[in-house]
Amino acid sequence: MANAVTQSILVVGGGMSGLAAAIEAAEAGHEVYLVEKNPYLGGRVAQLHQYFPKLCPPYCGLELNFRRIKNNPKVRVLTMAEVEAITGREGDFDVTIKMNPRYVNEKCTACNKCAEATTMEIDNPFNYGMDKMKAAYLPHDMAFPMRYVLDPALVASPEAQKVKDACPYGAIDLTMEPKTLTLKVGAITWATGWKPYDAAKLDTLGFKTCQNVVTNVMMERLSAWSGPTQGKIVRPSDGKAPETIAFVQCAGSRDQNHLPFCSSICCLASMKQATYVREQYPDAKIYIFYIDIRAMDRLETFYQKVKEDPNIRFFKGKVAKIEEDPATKNLILRVEDTAAGALHQITVDMAVLATGMQPNSSEDTLPGSIPIDEYGFVATLQAQPGIYAAGCTRTPVAVSESVQDGTAAALKAIQSIARR
C-alpha cells in the first residue's frame, strides 16, 4: 500500500466535468483536491441562464453538486488556484499549485459590508464585462464558496484600509500574496474546459464595430435576471427591445481560418436562446443562419419543436458580413444563401454570434508535458499514465457528456491509485 498522501486525486478545473470527476471519486471514498482558477466553482455553466432542451436553470443541478461537496469532507476545494508544475509519475506526482490572493479569508460571512464600503467599480467578468460591479464583490448570487473577493486594484488603492476596517469579522487580509503549495497525489484529472472564441477575430462579423452584435455567451447573461439587464434582452446601443434578431451559427467554428472543428453545442444554444427571445417578445422575428443543425440524439425533438415556431426562420446560409447602419444602429447582414445560390441583404435589430469553444488547453502552457492535438484539445481520456482528461478539454461537449466524461475520469484516477 502506498502512503496515504499519494492516494489522493487532483482534479484541475471546477466546471461541470471537474465537479463530476471530484465528487464521484470522493463519494466512492477517495480524497480529492479540486483546484479552480476562478473564485467560485461551476465553470461556464454557472453563467448560463438555462440548459437545453429542458430550459431549466443550471443552478438546480449545481446546488445539488455543491451540497454533495458540503456533505463530503473528502473533497478539498482550492479556488483562485492554478497548477504550475507536475513532476513524478503515476501514483506519485508532485504538483505545484499557485494560489492567487483573494484578500478575503475563511472568516468571511458574505455580509456585504466590504462592498458597501467600496466606491471603486470594476468590469464584471461574470457578465462578460457588460456591467460594472463593486471591487469588493461576491462573484455572483449563488457563488460557491459563498465568499467575497477583493480586486487587486482595490487592494492597491487608498480605499483599501477603509474597506478592511469595514469588515466586522477580520476577514480581509490586504497583505495576502500569491503563494505556492505542493501536493502529493496519485492521479490527476485535467478538466480545464474552454473559453469562447475571441469574436473580435471574426473581423467581418462586426463584433467590435457594431454595438448590437453580441456573442452567445453574452446572450446568456442578458437573459438572466442576475445579469446586467435584469434578464431583459435589449439592444446594447439603446436598451430597446429588439424586433428582429439574427443568430449567426458557426461564428469561427468549422472554419479552417478559426476553429476547424465543430463546437457541438452552438446549434442547440442558439435555438435555446431563440426561445428566450420568443418568451420575452412574442412578436419578435428570429433568423437562425446555419450550415447544418446539429441536434444529436433526443435533442432532435427540441429542434423539431423550435422549428414549428412560425417566428423562427431557419436560414441555410453563411453570414458573410455584418455592418451597422450608423443612424439606427441596425445591422445589415449579407448572407450567402447556399440553398438558392443567391446573395441576400437582411436588416435586423440585433445579432448573436454563435462563437465556438476554444479549449483553454490550446493557450495555457500545460504542465507535465500533457499532450494536445492540433486544435489544442487534450483529446485522449488517458493523456499520460496517471493523468486523465475530461470534458471540453478533450472535445467540445454539452453538460451531460461533460458529466459522463468526468465520471469516467474519476474511475481512471481511482484505478491509478488502486494499482499501487
Partner 1 sequence: MEKKLAVYICTGCGIGDALDIDQLSNLATSDLSVPICRTHANLCSQEGAQLIRDDMANEGVNSLVIAACSPRVMYDVFNFDGVIMERVNLREQVVWCQPPKEEDTQMMAEDYMRMGVTKATKMDLPEPYKPEEELSRDILVVGGGLTGLTASLEAVKAGFSVVLVEKQAELGGFQKKVAKKVTFPYKDIQDNDIDQLIQSVQQNDKIKVYTGAKVEKLVGGPCVFNLTVAQNGSTFEHRIGAVVQAAGWEPYDPAKLDAKLGYGASPNVITNVQFEEMSLAGSITRPSDQQAVKNVAFLQCAGQRDPNYLPYCSATCCFTALKQAIQIKQQNPGSNVFVFFKEMRTPGQGEDFYRKAQEEGVIFVRSQDPEVLVRGSKIEVQAFDELLGDTVLLGDLDLVVLATGMVPRTAFGEDCRAKEKKEGEPEVEVPQDAILASDILNLQYRQGPELPGLQFGFPDSHFICFPYESRRTGIYPAGPVRRPMGVANSIDDATGAVMKAIQCIELTSRGLAVHPRAGDASYPEFFMQRCTQCKRCTEECPFGAINEDEKGNPLPQPTRCRRCGVCMGACPERIISFKNYSVAMIGDTIKSINVPEEYDEKPRILVLACENDAYPALDMVGLRRMTYNAWVRVLPVRCLGSMNLVWVADTLSKGIDGVLLLGCQHGENYQCHFIKGSELANIRLSKVKETLDRLVLESDRVRFETVAITDYDKLPALLDEYAEKLNEIGPNPYKGY
Site for partner 1 in 324-383 (CB under 8 A): 338-341, 373, 375, 377, 379-381
Q: Which is nearer to partner 1, 105 or 237 (CB)?
A: 105
Contact in structure between 138 and 110 (CB atoms under 8 Å) = yes
Q: Smallest distance from the beta carbon of 99 to partner 1, in angstroms?
A: 18
d(CA 312, CA 306): 7
Stretches 23-31, 124-132, 208-216, 236-244: which one binds partner 1 (CB under 8 A)?
Answer: 23-31
Q: Which is nearer to partner 1, 319 or 397 (CB)?
A: 397
Q: Which is nearer to partner 1, 297 or 363 (CB)?
A: 297
Question: Which residue, among 229, 274, 291, 287, has the nearest Cα to 53 in the 3D structure?
Answer: 274
User: What DSSP element (H or E) covers 235?
Assistant: none
Among 31, 151, 349, 401, binds partner 1 (CB under 8 A): 401
User: What DSSP element (H or E) covers 420?
Assistant: none
Q: Smallest distance from the beta carbon of 61 to partner 1, in angstroms?
A: 3
Beta strand extents in 36-118 (DSSP E only): 75-78, 81-89, 92-99
Q: Smallest distance from the beta carbon of 212 to partner 1, in angstroms?
A: 25
Window 250 to 279, contacts with partner 1 (CB under 8 A): 254, 260-264
Q: Which is nearer to partner 1, 153 or 296 (CB)?
A: 296
Q: Which is nearer to partner 1, 217 or 414 (CB)?
A: 414
Among 67, 89, 208, 240, binds partner 1 (CB under 8 A): 67
Using CB under 8 A as the binding rule, whether residue 395 contacts partner 1 is answered as yes
**Residue 116, C-beta contacts closer than 8 angstroms, at least 6 positions apart:** 166
d(CA 314, CA 338): 13
Using CB under 8 A as the binding rule, whether residue 125 contacts partner 1 is answered as no
Window 169 to 208, contacts with partner 1 (CB under 8 A): 169
10 to 76, 170, 222, 394: CA distances (angstroms) = 10, 31, 35, 17
d(CA 314, CA 293): 9
∠187-189-194 over CA atoms, to 5°? 165
Q: Which is nearer to partner 1, 123 or 141 (CB)?
A: 141
Look at the block and give the residue holding cell 467600496: 118
Using CB under 8 A as the binding rule, whether residue 295 contacts partner 1 is answered as yes
Q: Which is nearer to partner 1, 251 or 299 (CB)?
A: 299
Q: Smallest distance from the beta carbon of 2 to partner 1, in angstroms?
A: 14
- CA 105 to chain centroid: 25
Cell numbers describing residue 39: 473564485
Phi, psi of 44 (to 5 degrees): -65, -35
Q: Which is nearer to partner 1, 20 or 351 (CB)?
A: 20
Residue 197 CB-density burial (10 A; 0-12 exposed, 13-18 middle, 19+ buried): buried
Q: Smallest distance from the beta carbon of 182 to partner 1, in angstroms?
A: 23
Among 292, 320, 347, 385, binds partner 1 (CB under 8 A): 292
Q: Smallest distance from the beta carbon of 84 to partner 1, in angstroms?
A: 27
In three-state secondary structure terms, 175 is coil
